[in-house]
């Protein structure tokens, strides 16, 4: 039925966004971004019942998009700031809207660190360091080990 199609479409969006992310190209990153924007529009235009179950973009989608841009080979400050802006959007949705499905994870921050490293700009180390306090400002949930450093 309709719900099964919605569920399948959401899964397909996630898989395709991740596939584009793995291309490590600007074109793949742009296509991943278009798909995520499309998924967000589908979510916003759906009924409450459908929204709750299937259409919501998650941290997996956002992380894939951030990794796509971080690995796109484009580099530069614009790309690093684009990735950081996606992270900021995730943080806002989690903090202000209470949306646990988009809670930034270690993968989210690692994508931002990678984008700055690959940017080739002089301010990259400083901008990366500025991300560190943001990793630890989220409310701690019981048994939440996700943001412990992995190095």
pLDDT per position as a tens digit, 98-118:
999 899 999 999 999 999 999
Q: How many CB atoms lie within 10 A of CB 148?
A: 9
Q: Does position 123 have pLDDT exceeding 90, yes or no?
A: yes
Kindly state the average pLDDT of the residues 23-31: 94
Residues in Cβ contact with 111 at an 8 Å cutoff, skipping those fewer than 6 apart: 63, 66, 67, 70, 83, 87
Measure the CA–CA gap between 32 and 69, rounded to whole angstroms.
9
pLDDT tens figures, 38-74:
888 888 887 777 665 567 889 999 999 999 999 998 9
Instruction: Indicate whether 143 pLDDT > 50.
Output: no
Residue pair 69/79 in contact by the 8 Å Cβ criterion? yes
Q: In 3-state terms, what secondary structure has residue 121?
A: coil
């Amino acid at each position: 039925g309709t719900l099964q199609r919605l569920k399948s479409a959401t899964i397909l969006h996630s898989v395709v966004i991740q596939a584009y992310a793995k291309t490590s190209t600007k074109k793949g990153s742009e296509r991943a971004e278009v798909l995520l924007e499309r998924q967000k529009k589908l979510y916003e235009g759906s009924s409450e019942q459908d929204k709750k179950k299937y259409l919501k973009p998650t941290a997996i989608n956002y992380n894939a998009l951030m990794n796509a841009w971080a690995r796109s080979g484009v580099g530069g400050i614009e790309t690093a700031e684009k990735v950081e802006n996606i992270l900021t959007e995730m943080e806002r949705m989690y903090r202000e809207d209470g949306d646990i499905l988009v809670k930034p994870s270690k993968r989210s921050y690692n994508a931002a660190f990678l984008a700055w490293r690959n940017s080739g700009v002089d301010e990259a180390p400083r901008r990366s360091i500025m991300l560190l306090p943001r990793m630890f400002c989220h409310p701690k949930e019981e048994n939440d080990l996700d943001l412990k450093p992995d190095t």
